[in-house]
Amino acid sequence: MLNPSRRSLIRTYNLCFLGFGNVNQALVRLLQAHQHGLRERGIRWRITGVASRRIGWIADANGFDVAEILGGQAAFAGAGWQNVRQWLEAAGADVLLEASPLNPKDGQPAIEYLRAALESGAHAITANKGPLVYAYEELRSLAASHGRRFLFESTVMDGMPIFSLFQGDLPLVQVKGFRGILNSTTNLMLSGMESGLSYEQSLRQAQQLGIVETDPSHDVDGWDSAVKTTVLIRVLMGQPLQLAEVRREGIRQLTADEVRAARSQGKPFKLLCQAGGEDGRLIAKVGPEQIPLSDPLAWVQGTSSMVEFETDLLPGFAIREANPGLEATAYGMLADFVRAVS
């Protein structure tokens, strides 16, 4: 609900974008499209920093022209910042929006970027799963000790409210486990093979859509699913699980014939992420499983996703997302921005 007393108190926030690929560009367009709605919540924004491999580190505390930034025409005022801390300072950053590529090995350099942002007094918002796998607890504490927010809604199921719900609007609920389909590349590939494509053809189809990680092994070998499983366990279940502890199997060994046969038997293959207690021990696993058609997960097609949670208080609570585009990821970051400053 809008708080009427807020309307008169409009504040302008300096936004810094780290990584300026599809996601952060979509975010800038979304910020533009929702300028009016943000204003009603007392929020104005300007872009005071952009950093990417192509652009370098540019900062201007007075704000860049948004059209020039989107057109790649920004004057390189202040280019020459040598590191993220200098750049954040030159930009007078209030919020860092981090969408640099995933490094599944150690989460760097994104962890260092987010650390720098929080230490400089900015809110840190990321669409990058690496820092959550390798430094979630540290970044959470750092945010708390600086009175800032560390938010990451876009890392799992794009802008769907998973973390914001369980960390805010669902008081007292304990998450005991979950089952879900969380990787769109492999789910689209399985749908593709079911409809007659070969493994290679279905991978190419996914690549043409631009949804495959630069290294396709991150998707097809289950790394992306395992990373998301780890993030959900660390954040929602409060368990210090390591990525290496997730039993992980991908879809590479499945042939198109097997995939088609499974579907025609009414038990299609899905790359399932699962976590739950077995004999008091937490088991986390990712792997292809045949799901009966009576299970809603069997009907999650293409790039859609779904996760159902086992909790103490919300029987069968499940969230689904259908055929998201880039805007859905960007929305998660936009919503995190609003949450951080509200």
Closest CB 321 distance from its own copies, rounded Å: 6
Nearer to its own copies, 97 or 246 (CB): 97
Q: Does 77 bind its own copies (CB under 8 A)?
A: no
Q: Does 55 bind its own copies (CB under 8 A)?
A: no
Closest CB 81 distance from its own copies, rounded Å: 32
Stretch that binds its own copies, among 31-39, 67-75, 192-200, 257-265 (CB under 8 A): 31-39
Q: Cβ distance 205 to 103 under 8 Å?
A: no
Selected binder of its own copies within 71, 210, 280, 316 (CB under 8 A): 316
Q: Does 277 bind its own copies (CB under 8 A)?
A: no
Cβ neighbours, 10 Å, residue 237: 20
Closest CB 307 distance from its own copies, rounded Å: 11
Selected binder of its own copies within 37, 72, 121, 238 (CB under 8 A): 37
Nearer to its own copies, 40 or 68 (CB): 40
Selected binder of its own copies within 72, 101, 121, 168 (CB under 8 A): 168
Residues 4-23 that bind its own copies (CB under 8 A): 4
Residues 107-166 that bind its own copies (CB under 8 A): 144, 159-161, 164-165
Q: Does 169 bind its own copies (CB under 8 A)?
A: yes
If binding means CB under 8 A, how many residues of this protein chain bind its own copies? 46
Q: Cβ distance 64 to 47 under 8 Å?
A: yes
Q: Of 252, 49, 245, 228, whose CA–CA distance to 136 is shortest?
A: 228
Give the list of residues 6+ apart from residue 89 with CB closer than 8 angstroms, or none. Answer: 120
Please give the Cα distance from 236 to 233 (Å, whole number). Answer: 6
Selected binder of its own copies within 10, 67, 75, 293 (CB under 8 A): 293
Please give the Cα distance from 26 to 195 (Å, whole number). Answer: 31
Residue identified by tokens 């580190």 is 57
Selected binder of its own copies within 12, 167, 217, 265 (CB under 8 A): 167
Q: Cβ distance 234 to 241 under 8 Å?
A: yes
Please give the Cα distance from 58 to 209 (Å, whole number). Answer: 30
How would DSSP label each residue in 8-30?
T--EEEEEEEES-SHHHHHHHHH
Stretch that binds its own copies, among 198-206, 217-225, 252-260, 334-342 (CB under 8 A): 334-342
The H-assigned helical ranges of the chain are 22-33, 35-40, 66-70, 84-91, 110-119, 130-145, 163-164, 184-194, 199-208, 217-220, 223-236, 256-264, 326-341
Q: Does 272 bind its own copies (CB under 8 A)?
A: no
Which residues sit at the interface with its own copies, rule CB under 8 A? 1, 4, 34, 37-38, 41, 144, 159-161, 164-165, 167-172, 293-296, 299, 304, 308, 313-325, 327-328, 331, 334-335, 338-339, 342
